[in-house]
Amino acid sequence: MNAMFVDQHSTVWFKSSYSQGEAACVEVAHVPTSFRKSSYSGHNGNCVEVADAPGFSAVRDTQHRDHGTLIFGPAEWRVFLSTAKEDLS
């Protein structure tokens, strides 16, 4: 997995609930994003949502938002979009 670089000024960090005590803690962040329906989504309910944030883009299934989000760095996102466009043609 590639490291992600996120704009630290728009990120709110908090101690993970899986951390124990004060030592060996893990911090996690929820990066503010707003998802929108992808222009490549179909009209039959098979939709994906995309979000852009400083330093990354994300995609998730509209019908199963609780199943998680795929995060892509800028180079990975360009390749993902290029591949998706090729698959549509």
Backbone phi, psi, residue 86, to 5°: -65, -40
Asked if residue 81 has pLDDT above 80, the reply is yes
Q: How far apart are CA 86 and CA 80, in angstroms?
A: 10
Q: What letter represents residue 37's amino acid?
A: K
Long-range contacts of 7-14 (CB under 8 A, 24+ apart): 7/53, 7/54, 7/55, 10/53, 10/54
Q: How confident is the model at residue 1 (pLDDT cuts 50, 70, 90)?
A: very low
What pTM value is reported for the model?
0.58
Question: Which helix (H) or strand (E) is 87 found in, with range?
Answer: helix 74-88
Q: What type of residue sits at position 32?
A: P
Question: What local confidence, expressed as pLDDT, does residue 3 receive?
Answer: 44
